[in-house]
Amino acid sequence: MIRFNKPYIFGQESEFVKKTIDDGTLAGMGVYTEQCQQFLNNRYGFENTFLTHSCTSALEMIAILLDIGVGDEVIVPSFTYGATANAFALRGATIVFADSNVDHPNVSIESIEKSITAKTKVIVAVHYGGVSCDMSALMALCKAHDILLVEDAAHSIDSFYQGKPLGSFGVCAAFSFHETKNITCGEGGVIVVNQRELVPRAEVIWENGTNKAMFRRGEIDRYSTVDIGSSFYPSELNAAFLYGQLLHLDMVQSARIALWDRYFLRLQKVCSEKNVELPQIPEFASHNAHVFYLVCNSKSQRDGLIAHLWSKKIQAVFHYSSLHSSEAYRSSHQRVNLVNADRFSECLVRLPLHLHLKEKDIDRVCDCIIDYLCAT
Ligand SMILES: *Cc1c(COP(=O)(O)O)cnc(C)c1O
């Protein structure tokens, strides 16, 4: 079986986890949490990062930090994971879904523009597959309408827009370290706070609304609950594991990019002959090979391809279903018609991509795809 995803373990993860066990420091905010944050800050020039137990919780923390509430509208792409919308819906915001581009799952700037009203408070950009959205256009739009930009950078560690790391454009950004992402600790995430004025409150929300951080720094002589918040920080066991992965980031990235490029090269000919779309990478984006996908001509061709690959013991999978027509959101989006998001929901297929795969595995997947496309 060629699995869709299998986390690659370097060995240092268990070494660091054992150290936290031996030291008896299991709760959050210990040395490994600090080291992970430092690593990300140094590598990407972030000034303020807070490790979280998922990207979902990072997004929830952002929604609290930006004071999102009833009456606020938040524009979210329809082609994304539920968490992107849920985090803001949980605060009482009205979710407004935007369409994807015709040729890329990333959100369409024109669709966002049409969705802006006087109540729009936030636009959430999702960089699908670690491929940057058009950040200049998005930032210009946000500036013109006085809207806050948030990056759901769940896919996007080590991805760039014109050489600048994703996660550094929004007022805040959220990354994921879920098992299916490039770097993992099982469940984990991080919030990047790019606006200095927001940092003191972020620190408080991160730690259940308390000012314990100030207390630890000796700035106050007792701490208390000063705001709302939650237990957003992960245990040191997770942070230790994560640090053991982060140290190998360069190796992860070069291996993934080599596999991604091999897929692209081997599938180019058949896809152009059969009008099947390969991932388009805009000039401004340098991506992290998070997802390799094809966009088929129809849902039936896509479902047939997935079934064919599974019959050959290859786990290919579809991806998101448009949120505007999901059970959770469709009743409030009855007249919404987002054709590009629907097309990616119905026609996109993701291929196996992880560090256990060898070149010959990629070649086998490609051969099976070529067989299927040429026979239909
Ligand atoms: C994976 C993912 C999330 C959620 O990440 P978790 O760490 O599992 O909470 C959010 N948004 C997008 C676009 C994702 O792909």
What's the gap in Å between 33 CA and the centre of ligand 1? 20
Rounded distance between C-alpha atoms, residue 250 and residue 218, angstroms: 38
Q: State which of 176, 185, 242, 319 you would mutate to test the pocket of ligand 1, scoring each by most atoms of that ligand within 8 A of its C-beta.
A: 176
57 in helix, strand or coil? Answer: helix
The enclosing H or E element of 364 equals helix 359-375
Rounded distance between C-alpha atoms, residue 91 and residue 174, angstroms: 17
Task: Please say if the pLDDT value at position 306 is more than 90.
Answer: yes
What's the gap in Å between 347 CA and the centre of ligand 1? 21
Model confidence over 174-206: pLDDT tens digits?
999 999 999 999 999 999 999 999 999 999 999
Rounded distance between C-alpha atoms, residue 10 and residue 184, angstroms: 11
What's the gap in Å between 79 CA and the centre of ligand 1? 13
- 85 in ligand 1 pocket by Cβ < 6 Å? no
Model confidence over 86-115: pLDDT tens digits?
999 999 999 999 999 999 999 999 999 999
Q: How confident is the model at residue 333 (pLDDT cuts 50, 70, 90)?
A: confident
Task: Please say if the pLDDT value at position 142 is more than 90.
Answer: yes
CA 310 vs CA 2, 37, 349: distances in Å: 9, 40, 12
Q: State which of 81, 100, 242 you would mutate to test the pocket of ligand 1, scoring each by most atoms of that ligand within 8 A of its C-beta.
A: 81
Q: State which of 5, 51, 55 you would mutate to test the pocket of ligand 1, scoring each by most atoms of that ligand within 8 A of its C-beta.
A: 55
- Atom number, ligand 1, closest to the C-alpha of residue 178: 7
Model confidence over 204-221: pLDDT tens digits?
999 999 999 999 999 999
Alpha carbons within 13 A on the beta-carbon side of 161: 20
Rounded distance between C-alpha atoms, residue 49 and residue 198, angstroms: 12
Share of the chain above pLDDT 90, in %: 98
Residue 321, phi then psi, degrees to nearest 5: -105, 135
Residue found under tokens 């949120």: 323
Rounded distance between C-alpha atoms, residue 276 and residue 372, angstroms: 12
- 83 in ligand 1 pocket by Cβ < 6 Å? yes
Beta pairing, strands 120-126 & 148-152: parallel
Model confidence over 254-291: pLDDT tens digits?
999 999 999 999 999 999 999 999 999 999 999 999 99
Which residue is closest in CA terms to ligand 1's atom 8? Answer: 178
- 182 in ligand 1 pocket by Cβ < 6 Å? no
Note whether 132 and 105 are within 8 A (CB): no
- 323 in ligand 1 pocket by Cβ < 6 Å? no
The pTM (predicted TM-score) of the whole model is 0.98
Task: Please say if the pLDDT value at position 65 is more than 90.
Answer: yes
CA 366 vs CA 268, 308, 347, 370: distances in Å: 10, 12, 18, 6
Across residues 335-362, what is the average pLDDT?
A: 97
Note whether 62 and 175 are within 8 A (CB): no
pLDDT score at 376: 83
Beta pairing, strands 164-165 & 285-286: unpaired
Long-range contacts of 20-26 (CB under 8 A, 24+ apart): 20/236, 20/237, 20/240, 21/237, 25/236, 26/235, 26/236, 26/237
Rounded distance between C-alpha atoms, residue 101 and residue 282, angstroms: 12
Residue found under tokens 């370290």: 177
